[in-house]
Amino acid sequence: MKLHFTKMHGAGNDFIVLDATAAPLELSAAQWQALADRHFGIGADQILIVERSTRPDADFRYRIFNNDGGEVEHCGNGARCFVRFVSERGLTSKRSIRVEVQHGIITLTLQDNGEVTVDMGAPILDPAQVPFVPGALPTRAESEDTLYGLDINGQTRWISAVSMGNPHAVQVVDDVEAFPVREEGPLVEHHPAFPKRVNAGYMQIIDRNTIHLRVFERGAGETLACGTGACAAVVAGIRRNLLDTPVRVKTHGGWLTIAWGSATDSVRMTGPAVTVFEGTIDLDRLNPPA
C-alpha cells in the first residue's frame, strides 16, 4: 500500500499530513508508529489525517495520532498546518475554515503574512472534565487558580490543571532550560491523578507578556513546540495573575502568540505553519525492529 504524504511543521513541532478526503484511511497503531519513526519511517511528532466532515456545520474533520500510535484529541500546531495543507492542496478556497475535532469544532484562519490563527475554544477548568482526579492532593489558592501538589521524586510540584481539548499540567519554574523536563515529564504524564495521562508543561515567566515554555507531550515526549500547551500555560499564568494578554510564547521551535480574556472566552493562537516536503511511501516496506 502506497501513501502520498506531506511533511509539515509548526514552530518545529513536525507532522506527517495525509489526505483521506477521497477514501477512508485506517491503519494499525504499529503502522502509525512505523510512519512516525525517525530512523525507519518518515519521522514526526504526530500524524494528521484530513477527512470529510461528518457534520454540516464544519468544512473538514481532523484526526491526530501521536508517534506512539495512539489517537489524541487535539493539537494546536497541527491545526495551523491543517489549514495551510487544505489551502495549498486546493481542497478549499476559504481563508477561514471550521474543522471538526474530537470534542467539537475549531475555526482556523490563514493570515495574509502566512501565519495561521486558531480559535481554540474556551479552556476547560473543571478538574473532572480535564480529566483530573486530585483526591487528597494538597492544594493552594493563587489568585483565580487552584494549584495542586504532585509528589514527583519526593518533591512537591505545584501544577495548574487545564484542558484545551486535551489535558495539561502546567507548572512555573525559575529556569526552564535548566529544569529536568525529560526526567520529570514522564512522571507527570503518568501520574495516577490523570486517568488519560497528561501533557506536562514547564513555564518560565520572562515578563507579564512573555514566557519561555517546554512541554513533555503525552505519547510523544518533549517536542520543539506544543500549541495546546502554550494555550494552557498562558491560561494558567493569567489565572495566577502572572501574565497579561496577549502573551508571546518562546519555544525551542519558535514563537507563538496567545490571546485570552476570561474563562468563557476562546483562546486564540497565532503562529507559523510550514510545508517541508512531499513524497510517497510504501507501507509494506516499513519494518522497524520489534
Sign of CA dihedral 68, 70, 74, 80: positive
Question: How far is it, in rounded angstroms, from Cα 136 to Cα 91?
Answer: 50
Strand-pairing partners, residue 114, are none
pLDDT grade for 68, boundaries at 50, 70 and 90: very high
Chain segment 89-114, per-residue pLDDT in tens = 999 999 999 999 887 888 999 999 88
Tell me if residue 231 is catalytic: no
What residues have CB less than 8 Å from 201, skipping those under 6 apart?
168, 169, 170, 171, 213, 214, 215, 226, 229, 232, 233, 236
Question: How far is it, in rounded angstroms, from Cα 163 to Cα 228?
Answer: 8
Question: How far is it, in rounded angstroms, from Cα 65 to Cα 25?
Answer: 12
Q: 222 pLDDT exceeds 90?
A: yes
Q: What is the pLDDT of residue 32?
A: 94
Catalytic residue among 3, 35, 75, 236: 75
Q: What is the pLDDT of residue 289?
A: 56
Tell me if residue 226 is catalytic: yes
Smallest CA-to-CA distance from 1 within 49, 29, 33, 35 is with: 35
The mean predicted confidence, pLDDT, of the chain is: 94
Cell of 177: 532550560
Which residue's C-alpha cell is 489535558?
Answer: 167
- Look at residue 109 and give its three-state secondary structure: strand
What is the mean predicted confidence (pLDDT) over 222-237?
96
Question: How far is it, in rounded angstroms, from Cα 263 to Cα 260?
Answer: 8
Which residue's C-alpha cell is 504526530?
Answer: 46
Strand pairing class (46-52; 13-19): parallel
Catalytic residue among 226, 230, 231, 242: 226
Q: What is the pLDDT of residue 288?
A: 59
Q: What is the pLDDT of residue 277?
A: 97
Q: What is the pLDDT of residue 263?
A: 73
Q: 21 pLDDT exceeds 70?
A: yes
